[in-house]
Structure formats: structure tokens, C-alpha cells
């Protein structure tokens, strides 16, 4: 029943609504793991200065039944989607996906949680819809090619809007026509510029995508019309956002075989700082365990493939927010403290005891290595350390480190607040409507009331 007028949009809508990830235990397990990881990040982010400003600005005092994560308030669903998406991304500690080239969970889960204020559904349905929304977002990422990101769009936002709409369309088993319209309404709200990286607006992008995704699904369900051909129209999605690098067949080919949440899968951040600074973090923690002392070090050199430190725009950070983007500081903190905690990367000034070592580090590029691509397997870092005693140490890290079990990260992110202690085990086992209601009740508590 696909339309000859819009075959690709129809095929995409059909794949979204007829998908069934509920029989794939590996995908379901990956989804539960990612949801635990995301919820920890969002509860930690609920207390951020900018989350508070945003909540006040968009109207968190408006009436409504949607929960704010890590807060005992409830509000309007569109506002909740926006604020929760922002909170999940504000620490830049949430998962990333290579096909998206961005952060899917902090867009899709807030949209689904907000939708729970308007419609009853089960935890199983939420998990399946999340997998499908992520699939839609990742497929669009592959189909757009690399220029979308390189020329300046923030894929978390632009693709997230459509991924969130897809998740809700799957959840409601909308018709093909209604789904195609909803996806087009999402596409026409797709925005977000990478020039906002490193500012308060970066996490806001995740929130606006969650809100726009929910709104698009709502509008189409209410009979609001829109173009049914956003992927087929001659001035359509690829014409506007791909800059000539599109591969439209990637939208549906091998859909769910395997699911994108399984292969290539999500990377759950191991440290609360920029993804690109993770390899030196792992190297620093490893050298700490080997017993290397900062005082013994004369000079440190990081060698990257060309382009691999492009996101690491800071060398001499002033505060912890900037330090997320400084491999020099990240390495110093990892080596000296043997761990990277949230308080290494908050708004307070950087610690002189760590800056003392960070100042002794520098970078170079191996121009003979292939330029870094979005594929994390092309990443590597070599650290060369000259010791004061004249000897030298070299270590190398290939790829990106990531967590397989976010349990300890969740405890750290929630400051071991017992109010949230049962969330991970509930997410591991939840299936019914009652389970989802219980999860919402647990999450709707105030993170700032920390008994520790």
C-alpha cells in the first residue's frame, strides 16, 4: 500500500509502523541499558543552572501531567519534552551513535515520556518504540551522508526531531498516510546549528527536537495536514540537508537487520567530558593504575590522526565546562585522580593542582595517518611522556572507550540518592503499563534533595 507518488517516504513510514523489535532480546537489552544510562545523565542534568533557566523560560509552571526528570514538578507535555531533552544532554555525558553522528536517546526518550502524559502504554511498548525511533534517526543519518554535519548542522537536533516522531508513530500504530504527514511536519521543524557547540544552546537542541517530534505526531493525529513526500519531493529533505552527499537507499535498506541499536550500537560515555577526549582519559587512568606520578613527568605529547581533535577546542580551560573539551586537562585529572567525576567538569574554576600538569602537555598530528572519519574505529591517540629522569613512556589507544554496564555511572550521576536507587533494576525488568507508571513516579522526585 505504498504510494507511487512518494515511494521512499511511504516505505519509511511503513517500516516505522510495522517494525517489531520485541522479539530481539539483544536489541531489547541494549535499549534497557541505554535508558538507564540516559536517566542517570538527565537526573544529574536536572540541577544544572541552564535547565532551571530553560524550565522557567518555556513555562514549567504551566499545568500538565508530564513529569520533569529529577524534579517533583509536573508540567505541560511539550514543555516537559523540551526540558527533559535538555537535561539529558546538558552534561554531554549521554550516549552517542555513529550513524546518527549525535545523541539519539536524549531526544527520543523525553518525547516518549512526555507522550505518557497523554496516552497509557506499557513499558514494553516504550522500549520497542525507542528502538524504532533510533532506527529511523540512524537511517536518516546514513542517508544524508557526511556533509550535513560538516557544513554545520547538529544531527542530534535535525534528525532527532524525526526520530522522536517516528517513535510515537510506532507506539500509536498510526496509518502510513498519517505517519508520512507526521514525519514531514517533523522535517519542516528540523533545525540546530553546530556553531552552538560549547554553549548552553547545545543541549537545548536535544530538547527542541524532543518537543518538535512530539508536536508533529500530535498535529498529524489531530488531522492537521502536511506534505506526504518529504523524502521524495524534488525540493525535499535530501535536497535541503544533504548538500549533494545523499544516499537515499540507506533510509530503508536492511531496516532492523540488525537493529542500529545493536550494530553499530550506542557508545555509552565512560567519562563526563567530550567524546573525543575519552581515549586520553582511559590512557590517564591506566597510567595511574601503573603508579605513574605527575611529579615525575617533564612533558607529554598527544599524537592524533588529522581531524581527530577537532572538537577539542580548548587547551587551557578556565572552568570545568571548558575542561570537557581539553585533552590536556582530562589527561591530567585522569592520571592524578585515577577517575573522572562530574565535579571535575562543573562551572567552578579548574583545579590548579591539575592545571600544573595540564600545562606540561601538547599535541601533534600524524599526517601520514588517514584523516579521522565518523567511524570511531579510525580514531587513535598515542601519548608520549618524557620523564624528568630522562626515560620515556609511550601508550596507544585505538577506537573509543565506552561502558557496557552503566550501573556505577548511574549511582554517581544521582549522587547515590536513595530516591533513585531502584530505577536501574526497574528499567531492567519493566514490561507492563503499571511498571511504566511506577518508573515515572520514581523519576518524578527532586534530585536536589540529596540526603548524603
Is 20 one of the binding residues for its own copies (CB under 8 A)? no
Q: Does residue 318 bind its own copies (CB under 8 A)? A: no
How does DSSP classify residue 91? T
Q: Helices 201-221 and 49-58 sit at what angle, rounded to 10 degrees? A: 40
Closest separation in Å from C-beta 236 to its own copies? 5
Under rule CB under 8 A, residue 319 binds its own copies:
no
Other beta carbons within 10 angstroms of residue 293's beta carbon come to 11
- Residue 156 found at the interface with its own copies (CB under 8 A): no
Please say whether the beta carbons of 262 and 220 come within 8 A: no
Exactly one of 152, 338, 362, 418 binds its own copies (CB under 8 A); which one? 152
- C-beta of 62: minimal distance to its own copies in Å? 5
Count the site residues for its own copies by CB under 8 A. Answer: 53
> Which region holds residue 33: left if phi is over 0, alpha if psi is between -120 and 50, else beta?
alpha
Which of 196, 252, 315, 378 forms a contact with its own copies (CB under 8 A)? 196
**x/- site string to its own copies, residues 207 to 236, per CB under 8 A?**
-x------x--xx--xxxxxx-xx--x-xx
Min separation Cβ 345 and its own copies, Å: 16
Residue 228 or 265 having the CB closest to its own copies = 228
Task: Work out which of 5, 7, 53, 392 binds its own copies, going by CB under 8 A.
Answer: 53
Q: Which of 157, 191, 171, 177 is nearest to 127 (CA)?
A: 171
From residue 176, give the alpha-carbon distance in Å to each of 3, 9, 12, 121, 307: 9, 9, 9, 21, 42
Query: Least distance from C-beta 409 to its own copies, angstroms?
Result: 27
Dist CA 353 CA 420 (whole Å) = 34
Shortest distance, CB of residue 304 to its own copies, whole angstroms?
A: 20
Among 101, 170, 194, 344, indicate the residue that binds its own copies (CB under 8 A).
194
Under rule CB under 8 A, residue 195 binds its own copies: yes
Q: Using alpha carbons only, how large is the chain's radius of gyration in Å?
A: 22
Q: Do residues 251 and 143 lie in contact, with contact meaning Cβ atoms separated by under 8 Å?
A: yes
Cβ 83 to its own copies shortest distance, Å: 12
How near is the Cβ of 191 to its own copies at its closest, in Å? 4
Site string for its own copies, 276-295 (x = CB under 8 A): --------------------
- Asked if residue 188 binds its own copies (CB under 8 A), the reply is yes
SS3 375: coil
d(CA 307, CA 372): 5
What part of residues 73-102 is at the interface with its own copies (CB under 8 A)?
76, 78
CA-to-CA dists, residue 53 to 60, 278, 364, 444, angstroms:
10, 29, 40, 19
What DSSP character marks residue 370? P
Task: Report d(CA 450, CA 101) in Å as an integer.
Answer: 35
Q: Which of 11, 54, 167, 251 binds its own copies (CB under 8 A)?
A: 54
Three-class secondary structure assignment of 166-222: HHHHHHHCCCHHHHHHHHHHHHCCCCCEHHHCCCCHHHHHHHHHHHHHHHHHHHHHC
Sole binder of its own copies in the list 106, 189, 267, 326 (CB under 8 A): 189
Q: Which three cell numbers stand for residue 137?
A: 534517526
When the beta carbons of 71 and 158 are compared against its own copies, the nearer one is: 158
Binding site for its own copies (CB under 8 A): 50, 53-54, 56-59, 62-63, 76, 78, 150-154, 157, 184-185, 187-196, 199-201, 204-205, 208, 215, 218-219, 222-227, 229-230, 233, 235-237, 239-240, 243
Amino acid at each position: 500500500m505504498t504510494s507511487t507518488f512518494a515511494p521512499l517516504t511511504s516505505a519509511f513510514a511503513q517500516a516505522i509502523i510495522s517494525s517489531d523489535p520485541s522479539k530481539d532480546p539483544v536489541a531489547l537489552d541494549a535499549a534497557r541499558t541505554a535508558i538507564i544510562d540516559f536517566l542517570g545523565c538527565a537526573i544529574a542534568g536536572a540541577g544544572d543552572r541552564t535547565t532551571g533557566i530553560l524550565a522557567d523560560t518555556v513555562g514549567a509552571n504551566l499545568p500538565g501531567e508530564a513529569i520533569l526528570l529529577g524534579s517533583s514538578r509536573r508540567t505541560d507535555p511539550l514543555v516537559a519534552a523540551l526540558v527533559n531533552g535538555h537535561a539529558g544532554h546538558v552534561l554531554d555525558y549521554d550516549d552517542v551513535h555513529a550513524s546518527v553522528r549525535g545523541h539519539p536517546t536524549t531526544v527520543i526518550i523525553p518525547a516518549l515520556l512526555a507522550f505518557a502524559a497523554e496516552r497509557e502504554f506499557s513499558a514494553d511498548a516504550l522500549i520497542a518504540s525507542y528502538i524504532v525511533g533510533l532506527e529511523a534517526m540512524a537511517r536518516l543519518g546514513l542517508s544524508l551522508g557526511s556533509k550535513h554535519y560538516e557544513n554545520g548542522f547538529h544531527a542530534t537536533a535535525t534528525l532527532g526531531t524525526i526520530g522522536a516522531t517516528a517513535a510515537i508513530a510506532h507506539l500509536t500504530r498510526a496509518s502510513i498516510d498519517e505517519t508520512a504527514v507526521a514525519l514531514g511536519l517533523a522535517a519542516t521543524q528540523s533545525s540546530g546549528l553546530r556553531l552552538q557547540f560549547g554553549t548552553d544552546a547545545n543541549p537545548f537542541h536535544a530538547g527542541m527536537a524532543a518537543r518538535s517530534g512530539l508536536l508533529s505526531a500530535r498535529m498529524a493525529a489531530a488531522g492537521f495536514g502536511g506534505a506526504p513526500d518529504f523524502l521524495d519531493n524534488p525540493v525535499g529533505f535530501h535536497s535541503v540537508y544533504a548538500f549533494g552527499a545523499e544516499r537515499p537507499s540507506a533510509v530503508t535498506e536492511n531496516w532492523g537487520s540488525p537493529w542500529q541499536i545493536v550494530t553499530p550500537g550506542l557508545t555509552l560515555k565512560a567519562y563526563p567530558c567530550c567524546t573525543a577526549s575519552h581515549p586520553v582519559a582511559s590512557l590517564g587512568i591506566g597510567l595511574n593504575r601503573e603508579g605513574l606520578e605527575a611529579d615525575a613527568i617533564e612533558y607529554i605529547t598527544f599524537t592524533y590522526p588529522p581531524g581527530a581533535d577537532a572538537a577539542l577546542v580548548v587547551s587551557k580551560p578556565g572552568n570545568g565546562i571548558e575542561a570537557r573539551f581539553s585533552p590536556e586537562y582530562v589527561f591530567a585529572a585522569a592520571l592524578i585522580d585515577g577517575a573522572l567525576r562530574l565535579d571535575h567538569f562543573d562551572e567552578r574554576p579548574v583545579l590548579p593542582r591539575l592545571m600544573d600538569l595540564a600545562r606540561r602537555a601538547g599535541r601533534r598530528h600524524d599526517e601520514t595517518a588517514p584523516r579521522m572519519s565518523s567511524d570511531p574505529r579510525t580514531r587513535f591517540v598515542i601519548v608520549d611522556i618524557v620523564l624528568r629522569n630522562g626515560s620515556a613512556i609511550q601508550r596507544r589507544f585505538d577506537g573509543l572507550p565506552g561502558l557496557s554496564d552503566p550501573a556505577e555511572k548511574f549511582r554517581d550521576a544521582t549522587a547515590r540518592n536513595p530516591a533513585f536507587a531502584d530505577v536501574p533494576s526497574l528499567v531492567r525488568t519493566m514490561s507492563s503499563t503499571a511498571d511504566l507508571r511506577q518508573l515515572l513516579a520514581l523519576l518524578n522526585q527532586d534530585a536536589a534533595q540529596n540526603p548524603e
